[in-house]
């Protein structure tokens, strides 16, 4: 029982660290990029309303930041879509297989 | 006549359990969004209720063997144990009825105390107690046959110990990373983004909750249908059962277990939007990863573990360990306490016997429920005061300041 348990537990931990901590981090990179890209249009303030000294990005830099932000958000959304598929497929007696790296719906 | 009456009582009590399951667990998905103000309290519970309803319908797979995890009253196909059907199914129906009643009593008591305990542990505990009382210790599936994670040990105790720790570790890492990445940009410029992230991740948790938890009640009611001889298909659940269970859990969620939402959202950690997002993302990931890997766990343990983790992961954040300790104690005694009530309920039903026994169990349950509801009115917690400042001195929800 215990070897089985440890085997399942570390798999859950590994998957959850990658998805549950990695995705919020990626999302934060996206949010940060958008915030910095927007710094050109007005001063940034921190939680207490104090101004943060961030040099406004050049227009090229601003576009780059926005693209980075979009890429991060799209990646997060794609992961959420896979998560939804796992929930829904599970309900219909199917499972999502990651054997071919790309997720595929298979019979349970 | 007797099995019919017992069957009707089982259905009513099972839906009642599903309803308590709903409001007991609203906090798991929505407490952080309510605490950070990402969603207005009423909007949050409405969103969660809708997602639970959708989730309940998404699960078309038959969860008929749900009791097999802990007790031996069904075979592996889901059919009731024939030895329990010799009296027209009354023996099995009384065990299920008493078990459900035990689960409800514990759910209501922990709600009254504002403690987020696991509804699945309460249900399993009640069933275990009623089974021990009715069939003896041999009727309980303690550890399966050892070939896979099964039984009380493999499906309840071990995951119960592990899941809050895993969720807490993941949320702590996530929170730490998010605050490192955002640095001094934390504030108005990033608040909106994190709110969206928080609402999105909380919605995933609600949906996963609906698919997992409503199924358990559907399985129990279908088992009762088969035992009473009204249904004989172990491959599907009648539509009315699915509809009733989906509505019961969703209504419960909509009602909102405000006392528990308050503890989880305000009591454990003073939570900020990025922390809330990291906590819900961790919960969603742990729930989905483990259900994908066939690992049973409680949404409540995961969600509260995540919130604690988000407090540990943010440098300088306060975690109220006293509240956490109270919660931990509640987790440890949920299973045995619900088992004790389940066993007592079975005793009452068995002593009186037959139809009258079943009715007596339900009357005792009702008396408990009314008492606890009346007691809760003394310090009502609702959408209006759920976010009031947490006062540490008495470690329970404060009276409304109205």
Interface test with B, best of A5, A11, A20 (most B CBs within 10 A): A20
Does a structural domain hold residue B258? Answer: yes
Across all residues in chain A, what is the average pLDDT?
A: 83
pLDDT at B374 over 70: yes
Does a structural domain hold residue B44? Answer: yes
Does a structural domain hold residue B181? Answer: no
Among B397, B394, B353, which Cα is nearest to B378's? B397
pLDDT at B32 over 80: yes
pLDDT at A85 over 90: no
What is the rounded CA–CA span in Å between residue B196 and residue B188? 14
Does a structural domain hold residue B247? Answer: yes
Question: Which of A18-27, B156-165, B198-207, B340-349 bottoms out in mean pLDDT, i.e. has the lowest?
Answer: B156-165
Asked whether the beta carbons of B56 and B249 are under 8 A apart, the reply is yes
What is the rounded CA–CA span in Å between residue B355 and residue B9? 10
Chain B contacts of A26, Cβ < 8 Å?
none
Range of the domain at B150: 2-155+211-270+332-379
A92 and B143 in contact by Cβ < 8 A? no
pLDDT in the model for residue B115: 93
pLDDT at B151 over 90: no
Name every residue whose Cβ is closer than 8 Å to that of residue A84 and which is 6 or more positions away in sequence: B204, B207
A12 and B171 in contact by Cβ < 8 A? no
pLDDT in the model for residue B234: 82
Q: What is the largest CA-CA distance in chain A?
A: 60
Chain B: nearest CA to A49, how far in angstroms? 8
What is the rounded CA–CA span in Å between residue A17 and residue A22? 7
B278 and A96 in contact by Cβ < 8 A? no
User: Which of A16, A27, A95 minimises the CB distance to B286?
Assistant: A16
pLDDT at B335 over 70: yes
pLDDT in the model for residue B141: 87
Does a structural domain hold residue B57? Answer: yes
Which band of pLDDT confidence, cut at 50, 70 and 90, is reported for residue A54?
low
Coil, strand or helix: which one is B64?
Answer: coil
Number of Cβ within a 10 Å radius of residue B8: 15
Does a structural domain hold residue B248? Answer: yes
Name every residue whose Cβ is closer than 8 Å to that of residue A91 and which is 6 or more positions away in sequence: B55, B58, B59, B60, B61, B211
Mean pLDDT of B357-378: 94
User: Which residues make beta-bridge pairs with A107?
Assistant: A94
pLDDT digits (tens, 9 = 90+) for B40-92: 999 999 999 999 999 888 866 667 778 888 888 888 888 888 888 888 788 99
pLDDT in the model for residue A18: 93
ipTM of the modeled complex: 0.86
How would you write B142-159 as a 3-class SS string? CCCCCCCCCHHHHHHHHH
Tokens of A60: 């090229």
- For residues B348-358, one letter each, b for 16 or more C-beta atoms within 10 angstroms of the residue's C-beta and e for the rest, the string is bbbeeebbebb
pLDDT at B238 over 70: yes
Tokens of B386: 């759920």
Q: Number of CB pairs < 8 Å for A and B?
A: 173
Coil, strand or helix: which one is B269?
Answer: strand
| Dihedral, B355, B360, B365, B370 alpha carbons, nearest 10 | 120
Pairing verdict, β A51-52 and A94-97? unpaired
Q: What is the CA radius of gyration of chain A?
A: 20
SS3 content of chain B, % helix, strand, coil (to 5): 75, 0, 25
What is the rounded CA–CA span in Å between residue B261 and residue B356? 38
User: How far, in Å, are B200, B275, B310, B391 from residue B265 at the CA level?
Assistant: 17, 11, 12, 13
Chain B contacts of A31, Cβ < 8 Å?
182, 190, 193-194, 197
Across all residues in chain B, what is the average pLDDT?
A: 89
What is the rounded CA–CA span in Å between residue B384 and residue B347? 42
Number of Cβ within a 10 Å radius of residue B316: 5
Asked whether the beta carbons of B39 and B199 are under 8 A apart, the reply is yes
pLDDT in the model for residue B358: 93
Does a structural domain hold residue B55? Answer: yes
Total domains present in chain B: 1
User: How far, in Å, are B121, B155, B157 from residue B31 at the CA level?
Assistant: 21, 26, 25
Does a structural domain hold residue B70? Answer: yes
Tokens of B308: 């604690």
């Amino acid at each position: 029982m215990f070897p089985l348990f440890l085997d399942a537990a570390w798999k859950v931990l590994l998957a959850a660290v990658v998805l549950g901590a990695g995705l919020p981090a990626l999302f934060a990179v996206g949010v940060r990029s958008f915030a910095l890209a927007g710094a050109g249009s007005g001063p940034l303030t921190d939680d207490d309303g104090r101004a943060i000294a961030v040099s406004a990005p050049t227009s090229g830099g601003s576009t780059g930041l926005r693209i980075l932000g979009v890429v991060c958000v799209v990646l997060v959304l794609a992961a959420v879509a896979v998560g939804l598929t796992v929930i829904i497929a599970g309900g219909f007696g199917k499972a999502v297989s990651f054997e071919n790296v790309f997720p595929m719906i298979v019979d349970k | 006549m007797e099995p019919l009456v017992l069957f009707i009582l089982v259905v009513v009590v099972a839906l009642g359990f599903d309803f308590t399951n709903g409001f007991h667990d609203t906090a798991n998905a929505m407490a952080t969004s309510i605490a950070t103000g990402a969603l207005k309290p009423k909007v949050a519970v409405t969103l969660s209720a809708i997602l639970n309803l959708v989730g309940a319908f998404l699960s078309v797979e038959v969860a008929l063997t749900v009791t097999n995890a802990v007790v031996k009253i069904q075979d592996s196909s889901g059919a009731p144990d024939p030895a329990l059907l010799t009296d027209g199914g009354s023996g099995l129906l009384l065990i299920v009825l008493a078990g459900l009643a035990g689960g409800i009593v514990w759910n209501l008591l922990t709600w009254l105390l504002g403690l987020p305990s696991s509804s699945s542990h309460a249900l399993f505990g009640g069933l275990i107690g009623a089974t021990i009382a009715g069939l003896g210790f041999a009727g309980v599936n303690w550890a399966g046959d050892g070939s896979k994670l099964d039984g009380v040990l493999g499906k309840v105790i071990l995951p119960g110990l592990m899941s809050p720790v895993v969720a807490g570790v993941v949320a702590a890492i996530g929170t730490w990373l998010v605050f490192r990445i955002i640095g001094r940009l934390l504030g108005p410029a990033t608040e909106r983004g994190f709110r969206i992230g928080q609402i999105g991740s909380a919605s995933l948790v609600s949906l996963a909750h609906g698919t997992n938890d409503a199924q358990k009640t559907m399985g129990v009611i279908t088992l009762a249908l088969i035992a009473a001889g009204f249904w004989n298909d172990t491959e599907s659940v009648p539509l009315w059962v699915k509809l009733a269970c989906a509505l019961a859990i969703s209504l419960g969620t909509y009602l909102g277990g405000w006392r528990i939402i308050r503890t989880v959202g305000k009591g454990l950690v003073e939570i900020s939007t990025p922390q809330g997002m990291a906590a819900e993302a961790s919960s969603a990931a742990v729930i989905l990863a483990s259900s994908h890997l066939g690992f049973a766990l409680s949404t409540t343990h995961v969600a509260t573990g995540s919130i604690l983790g988000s407090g540990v992961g943010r440098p300088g954040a306060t975690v109220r360990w006293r509240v956490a300790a109270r919660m931990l104690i509640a987790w440890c005694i949920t299973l045995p306490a619900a088992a004790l009530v389940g066993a007592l309920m079975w005793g009452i039903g068995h002593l009186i016997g037959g139809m009258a026994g079943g009715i007596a169990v339900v009357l005792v349950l009702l008396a408990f429920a009314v008492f606890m509801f009346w007691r809760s009115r003394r310090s009502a917690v609702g959408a209006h005061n759920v976010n009031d400042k947490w006062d540490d001195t008495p470690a329970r929800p404060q009276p409304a300041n109205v």
